Amino acid sequence: MGSSYAHPFLSATIFFPKSPNLQLPSSSSPPRYHSLRSRFCFHSSFQSPAQPSPTLTTNNYNHLIQSLCKQGNLNHALKLFSHELNPTQHTYESLILACSRQNTKSFALAIDGRLAADGFYNDPFLCTKLINMYSHFGSLESARKVFDGTPEKTIFVWNALLKTLVMAEKGDEALSLFSEMAHNGVPFDSFSYSFALKACLASSPPAPALLGQIHNHVIRAGFVSRVHVVTTLVDCYAKIGNVVSARTVFDEMPHKNVVSWSAMIACYAKNGRHFAALEIFREMNMMRDPEIIPNSVTMISVIQACAGLAALNLGKVVHGYVLRRALNTIVSVMNALISLYAKCGRLDLGQQIFDKMIYIVPRNVVSWNSMISGFGIHGFAKESIRIFEKMIGAGISPSPITFVGLLGACSHGGLIDEGRRLFDSMHKEHNLLPQSEHYACMVDLLGRAGQLDEAAKLIEEMKIEPGQTVWGSLLGACRIHGNIELAERACSHLFALEPWNAGNYILLADIYAEAKLCEEVRRVKNLLEERGLHKLQGCSWIEVRKRLYSFVSVDELNPQIEQVHALLTELVKQAKEIGYVPNTKFVLCDLEHEEKEKIVMGHSEKLALAFGLISSEKIDVIRITKNLRLCEDCHELTKIISKYMNRKILVRDVNRFHHFSDGFCSCMDYW
C-alpha cells in the first residue's frame, strides 16, 4: 500500500479496480433503501472526501473501508462510508468492530442509524455485533433497542443481550430475559446457560437457590460435559461461598482443563481455604498431563494462598517457579507477588519487585495499590502517602481501591487529619465518589481515635446506604472505647444485614463483659446459640524451617507442646516479676480469676510465640500469623518478651502487622 496510508482518499480510486471483493450484494442479502434519508450523515467535522464522485452509481469503497478499519483508521473509513451506496455485511461488521476497539460511541450511533435505515436489522448477524458493541460501551438501552428491532432473533441475538445484562450487573433483568427465552421456546445453548448462571450472582439479592435450579437445568439439558459451562458452575458456587458444591461439581467433571483447575484453586484461595488451594494445586501437577500446565492465572491464586498463610518460604519457592516459567512478564503476577511479600512481613522484597519490574513489564494502578496497602498494613502510613504522591506524579489515576489502602494506612498509623484530607480529595481532586468501603475506613479512622460521635455523624450524613463494613467498623471502635450505646445501635443494623456473622455477637458480648454486664453477656450468647452460630476459634501459626506449625488454644497434638507450656509458664513468671499483670477483662464473666488467667495463658498466639522461641535461632525474626485480632494481653506479653529475650517478633493479625522489638510495638498500642 505504501504511501496510500497517508492519503486514503486519493488512493481510493487507485485501489478500487484492484480490489478482489467488489461483488454487489447477493440476492439473499437484506433489502437496501437508497433514499436520501438513508444516506449517512455524520458529525459536521466529517467533510466529504477530497474527490468524491457524486455521479458514480457503482460506487464501491467496501474493500477499502474494511482495510482502513483493520488499520484503525476509523475516521477515514467513515468518510468513505458516507459515500458508499451499497455497504456489505462485511463492511458493517468491520466498522462496528473498529468502533468497539476505539471506544467511539458517537460513531457507533451513526453507523447504527444508517444500518437501521438500510434495512440491515433483518440481518441477525449484524444485530448481534451491534448488541455486543453497545454492551462494550455499557449502553444498555441502545442494546435493548437493537434487540427489539431484530425481527429474526437467533440464539446469538438472545445470548448477546443476556451477556450485555450480565456484564452490566443487571442480574434480575438477565434472569427475566432467560425466563422469556424459555417461555418463547428458544432452545438454550451452552452459552445461554453460562450467562444465566452468572446472572444469579448479579441479581439482588444474589440468588443461590436459583443457581441450584439452573444447575439442574444444565444437567437435564446434558451440558454437564461441557467444560465451559461446568467451569462457570464451579466459579459461581465459589463466589457464593459454597465450596462444597464447587468441589462436587469439579470432581464430577468428565474433562478438566487448566481453566477448571484454576477455578477450583481460586475457589479455595478466595474462601480462605489456603491449605486446600495448595493441596489441589499439588494434585493438578501430579496429573503430569502435558495439556494441564499452570499459567499466570493459576499462579496468582497459588500466590494468594501463600499470602493468606503468610508462608514466606513457600512463597519464595512459588516465586522461583514464576521466574522459571517466565511468568514475571505478566503484570498481575508481579502485583500478586508484591502483595505476597508485604503480607509475609517482607516489605523490602515487595519493594524490590516493585522497583525492578519496570525493566520487564510496565506497572499498573494495581502495582501501586499493592505497595500502598503493603505499607498500610505495616502501619507505615507516611510511606503509603509518599508512594501515593509518587503515583500521582507518574500520571497514574488512583482507583477506589487506592483510597481503601490509603485510608486504612492512615487509620493504622493514626494520621487522622491526613485521612480526612485524603477522603475529601477523592471527589474534589480525583473525581471518585466515596463508596461504603471508604466510609467504613473513615469510621474506623475516627472511631479508633476515640472520635465516636463524629464517626456516627459521618454515617448519618452518608448519601448511600451504609453497608455492613461501615457498621462493623463502628462496632470495632465501640469495643476499643467501651461505648455500649453506639455498639447496640451498630448491632441492630449488623444483626439484620449479616445475621450469620458470629463475630458481631462476640464483639458485643466482649463489650458487655468489659462493663461487667453479665446478664447481657448471657443474652447475646443465647442469641448466638439459638442461631446455631459458633465463635471462630483462634488459631496462630508459625513457619519454621519451611514447615508451618499451627496452634489453637487447647492443643495436645503438637509433639513439643509440653516444652511449649513449660517455657510459657517460666516466661510469664519472669514477666510478672517485672510488673506484667495478665489482662482478663474480655474473658466472659462467671469465672474465678485463676480460671480467667488460665484461658488467657492458653491463647494460640502465646503458644506459637513460645514455640518460635524454642525452635528458632537467636538472630531469626519470629514471624507469627493469627486468624483473629491480636488479644491485648498477648500484645502486652509479647512486648515484654521482645525486651526480656532480646528478640524481634513480627505478628500479623487479621488487620495488620505488629513489629515487636525492645519492649515496644510498631502499632504504638493503637490497633
Partner DNA sequence: GTAGGGTTAG
Q: Which of residues 509-548 bind DNA (CB under 7 A)?
A: none
Instruction: Tell me how far apart the terminal alpha carbons of the chain are, to the nearest angstrom.
Output: 67
- Bridging pattern class, strands 664-665 and 649-652: unpaired
**H helix intervals, 240-311:** 243-252, 258-270, 274-286, 296-309
Candidates 574, 559, 568, 642; CA nearest to 603 is 568
For the bound state, the minimum distance from the C-beta of residue 659 to DNA, rounded and expressed in Å, comes to 17
* d(C-alpha 234, C-alpha 401), whole Å: 27
The answer to whether 465 touches 497, Cβ cutoff 8 Å, is no
Say which residues have a Cβ less than 8 Å from residue 279's Cβ, sequence separation at least 6: none
State yes or no: residue 297 binds DNA (CB under 7 A).
yes
- Toward DNA, which CB reaches closer, 16 or 156? 156
Provide φ and ψ at 653, rounded to 5°.
Answer: -100, -170
Q: Is the peptide bond before 205 cis (omega within 30 degrees of 0)?
A: yes
For the bound state, the minimum distance from the C-beta of residue 113 to DNA, rounded and expressed in Å, comes to 20
Q: Which stretch binds DNA (CB under 7 A): 74-82, 141-149, 371-379, 541-549?
A: 371-379
Q: Which of residues 137-196 bind DNA (CB under 7 A)?
A: 154-157, 159-160, 163, 189-191, 194
* Residue 114, H or E segment: helix 105-117
Q: Which stretch binds DNA (CB under 7 A): 224-232, 345-353, 523-531, 610-618?
A: 224-232
Binding mask 88-127 for DNA (x = CB under 7 A): ------------------------------------xx-x
State yes or no: residue 366 binds DNA (CB under 7 A).
yes
For the bound state, the minimum distance from the C-beta of residue 152 to DNA, rounded and expressed in Å, comes to 10
For the bound state, the minimum distance from the C-beta of residue 421 to DNA, rounded and expressed in Å, comes to 19
* d(C-alpha 264, C-alpha 269), whole Å: 9
State yes or no: residue 373 binds DNA (CB under 7 A).
yes
Name beta bridge partners: 651: 624, 658
The grid coordinates of residue 538 equal 483462634
145, 228, 382, 430: residue in contact with DNA (rule CB under 7 A): 228
- Toward DNA, which CB reaches closer, 606 or 623? 623
The answer to whether 582 touches 569, Cβ cutoff 8 Å, is no
- Toward DNA, which CB reaches closer, 445 or 649? 445
Binding mask 390-409 for DNA (x = CB under 7 A): ---------xxxx-xx--x-
176, 364, 425, 615: residue in contact with DNA (rule CB under 7 A): 364
Q: Which of residues 303-332 bind DNA (CB under 7 A)?
A: 304, 307, 330-332
Q: Which of residues 231-260 bind DNA (CB under 7 A)?
A: 231-232, 235, 238, 257-260
The Cα-based distances of 384 to 225, 376, 378, 388, 446 in angstroms read 49, 6, 10, 6, 19
- Toward DNA, which CB reaches closer, 497 or 561? 497
82, 339, 550, 666: residue in contact with DNA (rule CB under 7 A): 339
Candidates 106, 100, 107, 105; CA nearest to 128 is 100
* d(C-alpha 605, C-alpha 393), whole Å: 42
State yes or no: residue 227 binds DNA (CB under 7 A).
yes
* d(C-alpha 124, C-alpha 131), whole Å: 10
- Toward DNA, which CB reaches closer, 88 or 373? 373
* d(C-alpha 563, C-alpha 408), whole Å: 39
Binding mask 634-653 for DNA (x = CB under 7 A): --------------------
Largest Cα span, the chain: 105
Q: For residue 474, which amino acid is it? A: L
State yes or no: residue 365 binds DNA (CB under 7 A).
yes
Size of the site for DNA (CB under 7 A): 72
**3-state secondary structure at position 361:** coil
Binding mask 422-451 for DNA (x = CB under 7 A): ---------------x--xx----------
60, 335, 540, 625: residue in contact with DNA (rule CB under 7 A): 335
- Toward DNA, which CB reaches closer, 376 or 379? 376
* Residue 543, H or E segment: strand 539-544
296, 540, 550, 625: residue in contact with DNA (rule CB under 7 A): 296
Candidates 198, 122, 129, 212; CA nearest to 163 is 198
Q: Which stretch binds DNA (CB under 7 A): 36-44, 263-271, 602-610, 634-642?
A: 263-271
* d(C-alpha 111, C-alpha 176), whole Å: 30
Q: Which of residues 15-54 bind DNA (CB under 7 A)?
A: none
Q: Which stretch binds DNA (CB under 7 A): 35-43, 80-88, 128-136, 205-213?
A: 128-136
60, 66, 245, 369: residue in contact with DNA (rule CB under 7 A): 369
